[in-house]
Amino acid sequence: MQTNFSLAQLADSDTAESEKILRKCVHCGFCTATCPTFVLLGDELDSPRGRIYLIKEMLEQAKPATATVVKHIDRCLSCLSCMTTCPSGVNYMHLVDHGRRHIEATWRRPWADRWLRQLLAVVLPRPQLFRAMLLLAALARPLGPLLPARLRAMLAMAPVLPAARSPVDRPQVFPAIGARRRRVALLSGCVQTALLPSINEATIRLLTRHGVEVVVAEGSGCCGALTHHLGKEAPALASARANIAAWLAEAEGEGLDAILVNASGCGTQLKDYGFLLRDDPAWAAKAARVAGLSRDITEFMAELGLARPVAGSGLTVAYHSACSMQHGQQIKTPPKTLLAAAGFVVRDVPEGHLCCGSAGTYNLLQPEIAARLRDRKLANIATVAPDLVAAGNIGCITQLASGSSLPILHTVELLDWATGGPLPPILRDARFARASG
Ligand code: SF4
Ligand code: SF4
């Protein structure tokens, strides 16, 4: 694609990067077929190619964002399905991130939108505050039908009561059981610790049982993805720097073989730290080092090897591959290989490349499109008649669970159970309890 930036514009690092990305696009349109919003809405401006044109025009003209640009960029899930499909290697992720930052800097949203986005940016990365909000949501539940669509969507996603803080989500070291084979840091995260603390608990049991020492490092916290996708760069980079400092202190102390992540949305963010901080001389090299150490828990376990299964054998698991897992990190087989090695019968979900509608805060900001994608995903899951659904991202788990009575679990909860851990809390009914024997 031809571009028309001035030399002065190209002196800006973000613009120079976006220009390189734009020049790779050959307008072929292959990406439109696998874009969830184009599949649903059928509008070229809701396709990757259409959005690329909108961003190009906005950046080239160095003008404030327009209502049209904001509408169609806001509707993008950042699912990155287009990046998997693109034959020319267009890095849509970095381009749309730049577009979002430009919108944030130049477009004044209606006050309700501004208020909601600010609320999400402040509350979600802070587990204590998020728990308090979940409690308020539980109290407000009876008012649900009277509230506007976005607040109704938030209430629908909230659990009946927030989970208590797990003792594992504090800075500490979990020694390996038996001889120590590896030493890792675990990103304990933010939203996940308040919604499903059982995921970190299962992760730590699974790792220590396999001879891995696990550190929850003092000073580590939210990865920054939630604020990053809202176009709020300063808090996103502050989160990245805090994590990098915390993990490098561990790496330079007792050493780290990896930094593990059990929420693939966060994993995609960590692996991009090097790019995000590339222009900061004090942090660029450190960020690249942390990005290089970052692994999804299933990548790590697939290399380490799984102990012989003792429970769960024979249950049919529909594996839902989160977009951040399959498109953001291109991790496709390890979770399924591990589940099969643990004795489960693993089924792929038809249209598996399409997003479930979760996409960070998307299901809260675009509830109608998100609900259509969720229902489509659940209908596809139903065709494989599973006993359970496994996914590697808290957002997908919450999104799918909001419309289904099937047990939706994190992959590590199943791997932990199968190799000697307790029955996952969601499976505590007679049928699954029998399988644990
Ligand atoms: S990130 Fe997803 S929703 Fe956005 S343009 Fe690409 S495929 Fe479409
Ligand atoms: S598939 Fe790639 S090259 Fe083709 S239009 Fe989409 S982004 Fe451009």
Please state the atom number of ligand 1 nearest to the C-alpha of residue 37: 3
Predicted pLDDT of residue 41: 97
Please state the atom number of ligand 1 nearest to the C-alpha of residue 31: 7
| Positive or negative torsion for Cα 412, 126, 123, 195 | positive
Judge if the beta carbon of residue 25 lies within 6 A of ligand 2. yes
Work out the number of other CB atoms within 10 angstroms of the CB of residue 367: 21
Predicted pLDDT of residue 204: 98
Predicted pLDDT of residue 70: 98
CA of 338 to the centre of ligand 1 (A): 29
CA of 21 to the centre of ligand 2 (A): 11
Judge if the beta carbon of residue 68 lies within 6 A of ligand 2. no
Ligand 1, atom 7: closest residue by C-alpha: 35
Q: What span, in angstroms and rounded, lies between the C-alpha atoms of 295 and 92?
A: 22
Closest-CA residue to 367 (of 80, 155, 159): 155
Quick one: angle between helices 411-418 and 198-209, nearest 10?
40
CA of 82 to the centre of ligand 1 (A): 6
CA of 38 to the centre of ligand 1 (A): 8
CA of 67 to the centre of ligand 1 (A): 19
Reduce the secondary structure of the chain to three states and give it as a string. CCCCCCHHHHCCHHHHHHHHHHHHCCCCCHHHHHCHHHHHHCCHHHCHHHHHHHHHHHHHHCCCCCHHHHHHHHCCCCCCHHHHHCCCCCCHHHHHHHHHHHHHHHCCCCHHHHHHHHHHHHHCCCHHHHHHHHHHHHHHHHHHHHCCHHHHHHHHHCCCCCCCCCHHHCCEEECCCCCCCEEEEECCCCHHHHHCCHHHHHHHHHHHHCCEEEEECCCCCCCCHHHHHCCCHHHHHHHHHHHHHHHHHHHHCCCCCEEEECCHHHHHHHHCHHHHCCCCCCCHHHHHHHHHHEEEHHHHHHHHCCCCCCCCCCCEEEEECCHHHHHHCCCCCHHHHHHHHCCCEEEECCCCCCCCCCCCCHHHHCHHHHHHHHHHHHHHHHCCCCCEEEECCHHHHHHHHCCCCCCEEEHHHHHHHHCCCCCCHHHCCHHHHHHCC
Instruction: Give the ligand whose atoms come closest to the C-alpha of residue 94.
Output: 1
220-257 pLDDT, tens digit each: 999 999 999 998 999 999 999 999 999 999 999 999 99
Q: What span, in angstroms and rounded, lies between the C-alpha atoms of 197 and 117?
A: 25
As given in the structure block, the two tokens for residue 59 are 């950046």
388-391 vs 316-320, strand pairing mode: parallel
Closest-CA residue to 403 (of 435, 372, 362, 437): 372
CA of 86 to the centre of ligand 2 (A): 5
Residue ranges of the chain with pLDDT lower than 70? 160, 429-437
Please state the atom number of ligand 1 nearest to the C-alpha of residue 75: 3
Instruction: Give the ligand whose atoms come closest to the C-alpha of residue 24.
Output: 2
Judge if the beta carbon of residue 36 lies within 6 A of ligand 1. yes
Closest-CA residue to 377 (of 360, 391, 394): 391
Query: How many residues are recorded in the chain?
Result: 437
CA of 90 to the centre of ligand 2 (A): 7
Judge if the beta carbon of residue 77 lies within 6 A of ligand 1. yes
Instruction: Give the ligand whose atoms come closest to the C-alpha of residue 38.
Output: 1
Q: Which of 21, 24, 28, 96 maximizes ligand 2 atoms within 8 Å of its Cβ, making it the mutation to test the pocket?
A: 28
